[in-house]
């Protein structure tokens, strides 16, 4: 328990927590959101239970020992989902289904607990935030139900005012229970035959006359319907629409055992059992999400309730957290693959997906950036070894690297005489005579080079043999004498 409180201290709660959905069971803000179940899930893992987050009720849950239903809406599970879960409990002994009510918001609880530590201006902002949360909660509650109703696993009592349970009694009560206050709005009461005499208003109202309805009450649709492979189980307030169905729903109610209650408020935690309907399994119903959500688990009393809840399910090896919203629970008759054992698909699951998806987006950005530069790959044509221009380039490069101006002039002259069959041009003779005059003197040969533009070699022959006379230094005197 201390380790879970340390997690909340380290990660804290985001200031923009109201943007996070209620009852998150996976994601990057699993520990930072006040209304998430990150700490509660970590408590299961510390007890050696592997936690899974399947998206629907399917045959994959045959390997699971505990199912935690996390309602993100105020509506309870639908009738098809309840039937599927009861069959799942009967199929193997020792299984547990946990359901907690939605009528609790950890953000509101957080502001109420920390309001006394704020300044006057901050208290006004906190009051505005509390009012906004209450308005949203009331709107969501009215959209789901408007009055009390029987939901098979519990009686949903919506007629009581909001209260705080300070005195806890029962097998799960502890010494620290009197130090905490459990906020309650809508009560989840254990099934009891006394509620049979309290049918909702739409059942007591007279049905509208329909002259086109068949007299025998039989519809044209076939009574035999094929069950779809995948469907949604959605709870509706008027799912029991006749007085006869209302009375039949109490024929075989489940046996309830209250584990924690408040003398003034009512049951907080109770357990349902029935050999015929549930086999050796059990259903644990909690009043709301106070022992599940991150912000409320900071209270030691709620942490103790969560720990007792986990111990009640041990020795469980796997626990499945399934969240559902206003669209209901998804029920599937098709096997669902394990997200953590799906090979390469595991790279798309949390927490590896944070790295892989970021790397994929970075790769797309880099590829888009380099595409205009690289373009489509092209292959340049290779030059033939018989190309005479390559020979001229090679000769010009060698003459340039020799840095021997007289030898280069002599090679150019030989080119005119041997290759072209012509006498060297006059400008080449003038250049040779200038070089001879320099080498015939007694003084040292200066480093001044003859201007290439005056000779004309750069614009004619130099282009063919690749000679750049401007880069050739003057020849020392002793080198000229050796060549003569």
**pLDDT exceeds 80 at position 323:** yes
Predicted confidence at residue 15, as pLDDT, reads 45
Phi, psi at 199, each rounded to 5°: -70, 155
Containing 186, the helix (H) or strand (E) segment is: none
Predicted confidence at residue 115, as pLDDT, reads 93
Q: Please indicate whether residue 299 or residue 10 has the higher confidence score (pLDDT).
A: 299
Predicted confidence at residue 433, as pLDDT, reads 60
Per-residue pLDDT band at 267 (split at 50, 70, 90)? very high
Q: Mean pLDDT over residues 211-228, rounded?
A: 54
Phi, psi at 174, each rounded to 5°: -130, 180
Per-residue pLDDT band at 429 (split at 50, 70, 90)? low
**pLDDT exceeds 60 at position 439:** no
**pLDDT exceeds 90 at position 401:** no
Per-residue pLDDT band at 465 (split at 50, 70, 90)? very low
Q: Which residues contact 350 (CB under 8 A, 6 or more apart)?
A: 26, 27, 28
Predicted confidence at residue 175, as pLDDT, reads 65
Question: Domain residues of the chain, as ranges?
Answer: 2-193+229-335, 388-483
Residue where the block lists tokens 């408040």:
262
Name the nearest CA neighbour of 429 among 412, 453, 451, 449.
Answer: 412
Q: 68-121 pLDDT, tens per residue?
A: 999 999 999 999 999 999 999 999 999 999 999 999 999 999 999 999 999 999
Q: 128-185 pLDDT, tens per residue?
A: 999 999 999 999 999 999 999 999 999 999 989 999 998 899 999 886 565 678 999 9
Q: Where are the alpha helices (DSSP H) in 231-348?
A: 243-248, 275-278, 300-313
Q: Mean pLDDT over residues 294-311, rounded?
A: 94
Point out the least confidently predicted range of 43-47, 151-155, 422-426, 428-432.
428-432
């Amino acid at each position: 328990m201390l380790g879970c409180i340390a997690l909340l201290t380290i990660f804290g709660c985001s200031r923009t927590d109201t943007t996070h959905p209620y009852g998150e069971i996976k994601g990057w803000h699993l520990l930072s959101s006040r209304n998430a179940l990150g700490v509660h899930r970590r408590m299961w893992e510390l007890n050696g239970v592997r936690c899974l987050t399947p998206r629907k009720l399917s045959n994959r849950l045959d390997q699971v020992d505990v199912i935690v239903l996390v309602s993100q809406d105020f509506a309870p599970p639908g009738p098809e989902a309840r039937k599927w879960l009861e069959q799942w409990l009967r199929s193997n002994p020792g299984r547990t289904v946990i359901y907690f009510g939605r009528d609790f918001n950890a953000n509101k609880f957080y502001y109420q607990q920390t309001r006394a530590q704020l300044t006057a201006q901050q208290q006004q902002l906190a009051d505005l935030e509390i009012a906004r949360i209450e308005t949203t909660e009331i709107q969501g509650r009215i959209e789901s139900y408007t009055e009390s109703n029987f939901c098979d696993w519990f009686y949903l009592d919506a007629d009581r005012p909001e209260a705080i349970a300070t005195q806890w009694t029962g097998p799960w009560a502890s010494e620290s229970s009197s130090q905490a206050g459990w906020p309650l709005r809508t009560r989840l009461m254990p099934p009891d035959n006394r509620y049979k005499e309290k049918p909702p208003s739409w059942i007591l109202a007279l049905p509208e006359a329909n002259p086109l309805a068949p007299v025998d009450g039989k519809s044209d649709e076939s009574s035999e319907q094929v069950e779809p492979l995948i469907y949604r189980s959605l709870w509706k307030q008027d799912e029991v629409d006749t007085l006869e169905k209302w009375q039949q729903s109490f024929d075989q109610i489940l046996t309830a055992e209250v584990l924690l209650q408040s003398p003034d408020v009512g049951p907080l935690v109770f357990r349902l059992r029935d050999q015929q309907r549930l086999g050796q399994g059990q259903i644990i119903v909690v009043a709301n999400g106070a022992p599940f959500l991150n912000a409320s688990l900071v209270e030691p009393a709620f942490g103790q309730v969560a720990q007792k809840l986990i111990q009640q399910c041990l020795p469980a090896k796997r626990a499945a957290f399934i969240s559902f919203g206003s669209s209901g629970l998804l029920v599937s008759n098709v096997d669902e693959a394990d997200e953590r054992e799906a090979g390469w698909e595991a790279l798309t699951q949390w927490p590896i997906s944070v790295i892989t998806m970021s790397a994929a987006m970075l790769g797309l950005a880099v590829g888009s950036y380099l595409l205009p530069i690289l373009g489509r790959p092209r292959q340049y044509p290779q030059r033939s070894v018989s190309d005479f221009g390559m020979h001229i380039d090679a000769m010009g490069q060698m003459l340039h690297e020799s840095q021997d101006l007289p030898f280069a002039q002599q090679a150019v002259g030989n080119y005119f005489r041997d290759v072209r069959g012509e006498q060297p041009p006059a400008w080449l003779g003038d250049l040779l005579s200038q070089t001879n005059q320099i080498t015939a003197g007694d003084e040292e040969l200066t480093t001044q080079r003859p201007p290439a533009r005056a000779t004309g070699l750069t614009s004619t022959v130099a282009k063919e043999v690749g000679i750049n006379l401007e880069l050739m230094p003057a020849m020392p005197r002793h080198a000229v004498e050796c060549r003569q």
